[in-house]
Amino acid sequence: MDEQHFTEPDAATDAFKQAFRRHAAGVAAVTALADGGRPVGFTATSVASLAAAPPLVTFNMARVSSAWPAMVVGNRVAIHTLGPRTRHLAVKLAADNAVRFEGDHWAPGPHGVPILAGVTSWMLGEIIEVHPVYENAVIVVRIEVGELGDEDEALLYHERAYQRPVAL
Amino acid sequence: MDEQHFTEPDAATDAFKQAFRRHAAGVAAVTALADGGRPVGFTATSVASLAAAPPLVTFNMARVSSAWPAMVVGNRVAIHTLGPRTRHLAVKLAADNAVRFEGDHWAPGPHGVPILAGVTSWMLGEIIEVHPVYENAVIVVRIEVGELGDEDEALLYHERAYQRPVAL
């Protein structure tokens, strides 16, 4: 029996988990409309800038997500930046997907895409690429429009808790 | 003259810039070997988890980067998490690429890939996908090995400055 076959995958997963425990991430919320105009969305710690000209953003997601059916090239998504005062939105969009849009914390925006209330900003754009990788996917969005929202600090996720940034 | 053609692209770029000013990002450093064993690397604020099983990581980059020639499927890259005590590495790997590897702040690791000294962790893996998008690219890495490093807080980039996270 070659023990390496059993230990190596664990070493890789351990390395990955250790590294991400040392890494802090900004918290965003992604929303879209799925088939039949059903609002879907989730809390994302993977939102990243890809380019400024044209303005391109990426995020990663699981293909088992309730929002996956909306991740189709040509469909629109909204990406909201959150702050400590909208931490409840991060909690709500990470909880049971059946009740994520129950309540008055959102309203339809451009193309009917749900825009969350009280966020520090939102930007909306067209999905231009979807790259499935194993059970997950990388989504590329070309930003078209957006709005600056309420003043607040940035919301972080680090060491399994919501945090905020301070100067060094 | 249709004025919309002139104002719309600006509105999109403005929305993108405003949103990312409200978003905080963890700071990482990516290193690799390019042609002829030349060490290359850069400071990245786009490192994100894609999956835990198998462990997959993404980052975004400009295709004009000096590290771009190393971003080939099958090549190895190291992704280091940084802290306030290794802020100098973030500064060094964002400065003039001709001198990023001049000094004793790194040593060859697995596959000869540069491993930076004093980091809070590093993980190394194989590039499994490269997706060019306009002048930039999304890189997908499957993690194989890594090491936990020195204890330190996480390093953030927010509001054009290095910062650190604190509890809410």
Count CB-CB contacts under 10 A for residue A109. 18
Dist CA B90 CA B28 (whole Å): 7
By C-alpha distance, which of B130, B143, B167 is closest to B28?
A: B143
Residue pointed to by tokens 């993977």: A46
Between the two ends of chain A, the Cα-to-Cα distance in Å is 51
Topology given in CATH for the domain delimited by A28-157: Pnp Oxidase; Chain A (2.30.110)
Cβ contact A139:A146 at 8 Å: no
Nearest by CB: A165 against B13, B21, B163: B163
**Prediction ipTM score:** 0.94
pLDDT of residue B8: 61
Question: Do the Cβ atoms of B114 and B127 come closer than 8 Å?
Answer: no
Closest residue in B to A121 (Cα) is B19
* Residue B15 or residue A1, greater confidence: B15
Across B9-160, the runs of DSSP E, i.e. the strands, are 25-26, 28-34, 38-44, 48-52, 55-62, 76-81, 106-108, 114-116, 121-133, 136-148, 156-158
**Whole-prediction pTM value?**
0.95
Q: For chain B, what are the domain ranges?
A: 28-157
| Residue range B45-49: mean pLDDT, rounded | 98
- Cα(B24)–Cα(B159) distance, rounded to whole angstroms? 8
As a whole number, mean pLDDT of residues B146-160 equals 96
d(CA B55, CA B53): 5
Flag if B9 and A154 touch (Cβ within 8 Å). no
User: Do residue B123 and residue A16 have CB atoms under 8 angstroms apart?
Assistant: yes
Say whether pLDDT at A75 is over 90: yes
Residue B3: is its pLDDT beyond 50? no
Residue in B55, B163, B167 closest to A12 by CB: B55
pLDDT one-digit tens code per residue, A88-126: 999 999 999 999 999 999 999 999 999 999 999 999 999
Which pLDDT does position B47 carry in this prediction? 98
